[in-house]
Structure 1
Amino acid sequence: MTVEAELRGVRVRYGLLEALHGVDLACPAGRVTVLLGRNGAGRTTALHTLAGVVRPAAGRVLWAGRDVTALSAFRRARRGLALVPADRAVFPSLTVAENLGQHAGEDTAAVEEWFPELRSLMTRRAGTLSGGQQQMVALGRALLGRPRLLLLDEPDRGLAPAVAARLHRLLLESAADGGTVVLAAQSLPATLAGAGVVHVLRRGRVVFSGEPGELLSGPIGG
Structure 2
Amino acid sequence: MSVEIELRGARVRYGPLEALHGVDLAMPSGRLTVLLGRNGSGRSTALHALAGIVPLSGGRVLWRGEDVTGLDAFRRARRGLALVPEQRAVFGSLTVEEHFALVTGDVGGRTPAFEAFPALRGLLKRRVGTLSGGEQRMVAVSLALLSGAGVLLLDEPGQGLAPAAAARMHQVLAEQAADGGRTVVVAEQQLRGALRGAAVVHVLRRGSVAFTGEPAEPGFTRRTRW
> Normalized against structure 1, the TM-score is what?
0.94
Match of residue 31 from structure 2: 31
For 1:209 and 1:50, locate their aligned partners in 2 and report how far apart those are by CA, in whole Å: 17
Q: Is residue 2:197 matched to residue 1:194?
A: yes
* Equivalent residue letter for 1:216: T
Of 137, 140, 143, 2:142 maps to 140
Match of residue 210 from structure 1: 213
Gap change, CA 1:75 and 1:170, over 3 Å in 2: same
Deviation at residue 191 of structure 1 after TM alignment: 2.1
* Equivalent residue letter for 2:94: L
Gap change, CA 1:147 and 1:11, over 3 Å in 2: same
Aligned residues: 221
Structure 1 unmatched runs, 5+: none
Gap change, CA 1:80 and 1:217, over 3 Å in 2: farther
* Equivalent residue letter for 2:127: R
User: Is this contact kept in 2: 1:189–1:217, CA < 8 A?
Assistant: no
User: Is this contact kept in 1: 2:103–2:146, CA < 8 A?
Assistant: no
SS at match of 2:164: helix
For 1:102 and 1:152, locate their aligned partners in 2 and report how far apart those are by CA, in whole Å: 19
* Equivalent residue letter for 1:27: M
* Equivalent residue letter for 1:174: Q
User: Is this contact kept in 2: 1:10–1:60, CA < 8 A?
Assistant: yes
User: Is this contact kept in 2: 1:100–1:141, CA < 8 A?
Assistant: yes
* Equivalent residue letter for 2:47: L
User: Is this contact kept in 1: 2:34–2:188, CA < 8 A?
Assistant: yes
User: Is this contact kept in 2: 1:88–1:135, CA < 8 A?
Assistant: no
Identity %: 63
Please identify runs of 4+ aligned residues in structure 1 that moved more than 3 A: 216-220
Match of residue 127 from structure 2: 125
> Normalized against structure 2, the TM-score is what?
0.93
Q: Is residue 2:72 matched to residue 1:72?
A: yes
Structure 2 unmatched runs, 5+: none
State the superposition RMSD in angstroms.
Answer: 1.7
For 1:86 and 1:217, locate their aligned partners in 2 and report how far apart those are by CA, in whole Å: 27
